[in-house]
Structure 1
């Protein structure tokens, strides 16, 4: 049978004849087929970050690094696959295993940054990739080797995990030590001797591989009952070297008259000698508790309940705690002060004591209420007297103010009256002066006129008499011998 087939550009086909033989044809091409069939072939491409995994029919495998391309051949290849190259970051590393010709396996470490394209006889350890371990300035690396050694590398540092050498690598934080803290460090020397030293803060402690810290386990408050102290409740490595304090209740304290009490205390203390403390005790708090209990029991055993109540102020004095002070000095501590916080009696005794306290308190409250009532009455009377005095003072000030207003008004009226009188007098004086001036003018004019008339040889007497022919009064005086005459006209 004859067929025509077209192979396009960029394609490849396999042409099979009737005998099972094959030939490969690349396009573009026009094929005349006689008793033949064609099979389209697939082309595989690998980019620079890829590679081709070629499986041959004879069982071989080849890896072709990209960029590359390959046509699948049905007579040679079983399969072709495109795989991504393994990207390894700058802070990573991987183990590469390779099978040798003698069937042995070699191993190498490939550090990033890189792109890994394996050969056909290579593979990666993917389940446990290598890591770079970094330690900052406040950290350190704990490196455990396969031979049992351990090293501590102070940061800043970094190291790659190597499976041929390392068992594990861990990043640990350095131990910060404040200015008021200290660490007790033990060290195993080359001769197996154990040495001890004290590191005072401020510091950052990075231990060596043969060093470890002292673990303190002291009495502390019970989590279920904070009023009680239990062994090993406090666990720590940093020792405080500043003044400290603790609360403690001394239980089962019995007085001379068999009253059972619980005495509550507060102790202020300070660590002075760490070496002495380490050599003389393993739990200073337990020593304080025992010494306090002994001192308080001795104090109460020689006193009755009433005497105990009257002498409780003595429990604030340090000389009452001889056992505590001596024990503290022996273990390197100094007791600064002991404060008595009160006591708790048995329920029955406490009830009786509470009743007595209630009665005394009621009497005191009644007396205090009466005293306050009297003081209130005195205060009211005193305030009323003060208000009355203030009221009288205000009235007095008001009267004085009104008097001053009247005086000011009178002074104003007098001033205005004096001014009016002065103005009237001045006006009258001015009027009189004007009249005088006017009369003087008339007299001068008349005098001038009379002088002119006299100059004209006119008899002034007759002229004046003729001018006043009808006088209001006429006085005539006759006399002889030159008599003197005085006339008074009212």
Structure 2
């Protein structure tokens, strides 16, 4: 019994006839082969972050950026591959080569982007010095293999080994180098491994710096290893290869076991002396502080006593002034009372005199002998003044009698 082949919807098949002719069939459909051979075709899909690499039967290559779908056709295709697009961040770049008319050109593509190379393009693959997987503190050739350049500030840890001082001390200087790629074209034209250039230039600068100093002088002048002026060869080489050295940080040094032991002992002795000196200095500072505080306290007490004395004198002065003012007011009031009393006495006397004068005047008008009246009224006077006159030829005589 011959059973037909069912091609479902969304599928595609290729029917090979006995004559060698091929027919493409799309589902949904039933196909009776009758001795022919049916080949189900595969559909290749590329998402938004992928692309199709189509190897044609004629030897050509075609790239189709996703999203895309393509049925494999053995009559036209050798194979179809799905490849990821190259993702470039904002601080990344790639170098692209292209062959056209027998001539190879170069260009740089920068992110952010999803890059799909053309069939006649290929990427530059960098091979630089990097950390040794077995000894990360050492740098070895071709340890870094990559295609995307980082066009942003970066840093490199490097230990300059076998640095010999003027007194033949052998040390290892540990550094951190901060750098930034400024010109990709110049870097491509001037060097194939800028990290190796940095390592070589830095090593030369550090060796030149240490060769003029003894070990003790080197320890005293390590702050100069943080200055770019110390690394003239490194800075110049970086500029020639399109880089800029931002700064260099000195992270310390290592010495041989014997030298390190001697150095540790010296550090311990110096530290002990420093601690003793610091303890003595703190004791002296504490004594000075106590003396200074005592002097300030005495000064404050003297100032308070002075203020208290001044306040007491001011109070006594004010009290004396108030007492004098009170006495003066009392005296003025007494004088005023006496003056008013005198005025009242005078007024009363005047009133009495006026009244008596009016009485005497009235008595005189009544023909009363005032002399006899007065003598009769004052029979015992306090003082008697009598003037006797005799004959006209005799002088008058004055008699004063005090009673």
| C-alpha distance in 1 between matches for 2:323 and 2:142 | 104
CA contact 1:263–1:344 (8 Å) conserved in 2: yes
Q: How many residues align?
A: 368
User: For residue 463 of structure 1, what is the aligned residue in structure 2?
Assistant: 373
CA separation of 1:168/1:487 partners in 2, compared to 1, >3 Å: closer, same or farther?
A: farther
Which residue number in structure 2 is paired with residue 409 of structure 1? 319
> Root-mean-square deviation (CA), in Å?
4.4
Tell me the secondary structure at the aligned position of residue 457 of structure 1: coil
Name stretches of at least 5 consecutive residues in structure 2 with no aligned partner: 1-8, 18-22, 32-40, 390-394
Distance between the aligned counterparts of 1:441 and 1:223, measured in 2?
A: 141
Deviations 1:293-339 (A, max 9, x none): 23434544565534544564554565654543453344333445544
Could you tell me how far apart the structure 2 residues matched to 1:330 and 1:192 are?
Answer: 31
* 1:87-486 → structure 2 map (5 Å cutoff): 95=10, 106-107=25-26, 135=48, 142-145=51-54, 147=56, 148-152=61-65, 161-163=69-71, 175-177=88-90, 181=91, 183-191=93-101, 193-199=103-109, 203-204=112-113, 206-210=115-119, 211=121, 213-221=123-131, 227-231=137-141, 234=144, 237-241=147-151, 244-255=154-165, 257-300=167-210, 304-306=214-216, 308-309=218-219, 312=222, 315-316=225-226, 318=228, 320-321=230-231, 323-335=233-245, 337-466=247-376, 468-471=377-380, 473=382, 475-480=384-389, 481-483=395-397
Structure 1 position 355, deviation (Å): 0.7
* Bigger mean CA offset, 410-419 vs 332-341: 332-341
Q: Which residue of 2 aligns with 1:49?
A: none
Asked if 1 retains the 8 angstrom alpha-carbon contact of 2:162 and 2:172, the reply is yes
**Contact 1:151–1:209 (CA<8 Å) still a contact in 2?**
no
Partners of 2:248 and 2:11 in 1: CA distance: 71
Structure 1 SS opposite 2:319: helix
In the alignment, the residues of structure 1 paired with residue 375 and residue 46 of structure 2 have an alpha-carbon distance, to the nearest angstrom, of 160
In the alignment, the residues of structure 2 paired with residue 235 and residue 222 of structure 1 have an alpha-carbon distance, to the nearest angstrom, of 13
- Separation in 2 of the partners of 1:470 and 1:488? 14
Query: Secondary structure of the residue that 1:344 maps to in structure 2?
Result: strand
Change (3 A) 1:204 1:333: same
For 1:488 and 1:192, how far apart are their aligned partners in 2?
A: 173
Q: Which has the higher contact order (CA 8 A, sep 6+)?
A: 2
Q: Distance in 1 between matches of 2:86 and 2:205?
A: 45
In structure 2, do the counterparts of structure 1 residues 231 and 402 end up closer, same or farther at CA, with 3 Å as the change threshold?
A: farther
Deviates more, 1:291-300 or 1:166-175: 166-175
CA-CA distance at 1:358 after TM superposition: 1.6
| Change over 3 Å in CA distance of 1:372–1:428 after alignment to 2 | same
Shift of 1:395: 1.0
Q: Give the Cα separation in 1 of the matches to 2:135 and 2:402.
A: 139
- Give unpaired runs (5+ residues) of structure 1: 1-93, 109-117, 122-127
**TM-score in terms of structure 2 length:** 0.72
